[in-house]
Structure 1
């Protein structure tokens, strides 16, 4: 069953690629055939199979032989893995569909933030809809716990923005990141919000240090949405286990 779930996830990842790329290019993501970005030739269905086509074509367009961006198979692979992780976490139909919806939108937001350092409102609205449905239909959490989660997650990012403006005279946190924090806070009580924030910042720190030490890159702006997405997904799936493990240590 997990193999079928992985294939389904890879197909969803292919759609996430289309949604992210066509949004940044202001193209219709529902209608219109996929085209090679290099030669503009239409891509046939058999050259558009998630992961498989990339391997069979050896990462090159069938027509112009130019290389295909590694983004396509990587996103399909990541979404395939996420699909299996979500299925293992909760295989019931409605929770799984909502988790996949949230995961897809987080992946799309990650892609657009990495490419343009911008988070689109339409993607945030979709994430909000999935988050609200998951909160009220699936999670057994009181309204006060939810408000604490929203306030802590989004409020902490908002405070960082003001602190950065006062101390460093620049924006330390984007508006899109803050909105994302408030939306994802719907999913958590205050404890899980702390876990999500911690995982977000620790993963961003690891990547930042790696880029500085090994890539010798001067980091002016590090897109933070990918790390918020990473921390939030881990907190949704494994947050309670992380809290239990931490409490058992102390």
Structure 2
């Protein structure tokens, strides 16, 4: 009897955790889609003010009402990432300390970029501009590395092995674009060195950055979608529907026979 009750209690807790993970997955998907729509809006609405091929997305803060949309997008993206991580924990998915730390750096960098805008000048001249630059640089490295670390952990977990492979491919692509963006910005990072014209790729830095954002967002969408699928499947197949104590079934049969 005690074992049956323990099993029923455990099933109820598993159902609760699955429900929470399902809700968190839905929240993260809404946030990610909202971020994608907002960033697309900024690129289309201000295409003549901020060249999407050559200028960074940070310059949308200098457009009309662009600052509010841009800052909100970054904050929502950070919250969506956190909800994914919490949802994974609810399902007892092993994330690993390295991935957890790198995801934390990613979220912190997003918030700092939202709070501290860049300078509208060829060179960074203010403290908030420097904070934005360092926080922005952390974004390019942290999420691809977090994806690689998480993928390594997921491949040993049956329900997540396929997702781990997809995340790894997206993370490798994002890492390659992050390196390409760094190379494109070298003339700005090393102003004392004269780069030949064929080695100056700043005219394409904005495009590279946006492609990097697409891959990073795709990585998070893959995780959120899989989180929703796994949590919903576990919620539907939870054992509490059949975990009825056997002694109660016997007592019920005796009552019926009597």
TM-score range, shorter chain: 0.3 to 0.5
After TM superposition, the score normalised by the length of structure 2 is 0.33
- Higher helix share goes to which structure? 2
Q: Larger Rg: 1 or 2?
A: 2
After TM superposition, the score normalised by the length of structure 1 is 0.34
Q: Which has the higher contact order (CA 8 A, sep 6+)?
A: 2
